[in-house]
Structure 1
Amino acid sequence: MMRIVVEIAAQRLTLYQGTDPVRSYPCSTSRYGAGCQEGSNRTPIGFHEVVEKYGDGVPLGGVFVSRVYTGEIVPPCLEKIPSGQDLITTRILRLRGVQPGINQGGKVDSYRRYIYIHGTPEEGLIGTPASHGCIRMTNADVADLYERVPIGTQVEIF
């Protein structure tokens, strides 16, 4: 069984098959730290699962708005986008918390917070906390991960 482990302190996402690591990628979690509260812009902790996937056939750098590919493609950059936009690119793996009161339900619901694993044009910031709560990856890495994990894959974030 495939599972994903996100280590916030290490800014690392590792894909496991059972107990064996298959692939490890640098990632970027929230610049505001860890937390599950709605409106906090923090990366939620605990156990989640991949419940939706978006991006089949979308080119690297393809921009999504409300989980729909816009047709726009943006190149990767080394620093923060001057406009302050938090663009979602290439692929989306939408997460749902599975721990009631921790990351599911009420004011701590990861699904209702639209927590994703997704690509970003701000590839130069990968490896440092820079997101608004989601788990960002380089476009090539998120495309690779997307192909490897089915819906229902367990995700642990700590």
Structure 2
Amino acid sequence: MIIISLSEQMLYHRRKTGVWYAYPVSTAAKGAGNLSGSFKTPLGRHRIAKKIGDGLPLLTAFRSREPFCIYDPENDDPDRDWILTRILWLTGCETGKNRRGKVDTHRRFIYIHGTHEEDKIGTPASHGCIRMKNKDMLDLFENSAVGEAVLING
């Protein structure tokens, strides 16, 4: 089980062993919200729908969920919201809240992913996704499963 606290900017992961791991994250700069186009982090019960990037190098950059290069800070595009290292693509479990219609988390392409802005981890700065430090993202990816529950709280 994964619990994400927007107020704490933390992600808690309970592994199969029963041990909890804590990671700092960065959620939406605009706060919590479930509407499509809001650039907010959706609340409620979710699950991991798909894991993307297994076996790829650290700092692999994704475009439309496909790897296209290795991120190089020397060639950074300041207007790009880089999605790096791994992707956990979320889907909502609550019809009318985060599933279907204008509130569908999956169709909003809400991910847990690595970022090029690791210095902003711990403060809200994303466009709706949950950003993690890249090495933390590797650890979470390796120890999570498709179908695993994800609860996002305010």
Q: TM-score range by the shorter chain?
A: over 0.9
TM-score relative to the length of structure 2: 0.93
Distance 1:126 1:87 in 2: 14
Q: Give the 5 Å matches for 1:21-60.
A: 21-60=19-58
**Matched letter for residue 7 of structure 2:** A
Deviations 1:31-56 (A, max 9, x none): 00000000000000000000101111
Aligned-residue identity in percent: 47
Mapped contact 2:15–2:143 kept (Cα < 8 A):
no
Q: Note if 1:85 corresponds to 2:83.
A: no
Q: Give the 5 Å matches for 1:110-129.
A: 110-129=105-124
Q: Which structure 2 residue ranges, 5 or more long, are not aligned?
A: none
1:27 alignment partner, SS class:
strand
Q: Which runs of 4+ in 1 moved over 3 A?
A: 17-21
**Matched letter for residue 117 of structure 1:** I
**Matched letter for residue 37 of structure 1:** L
**RMSD between aligned residues:** 1.7
**Matched letter for residue 82 of structure 2:** L
Residue in structure 1 matched with residue 3 of structure 2 by the alignment: 5
Number of residue pairs the alignment of both structures matches: 152
TM-score relative to the length of structure 1: 0.91
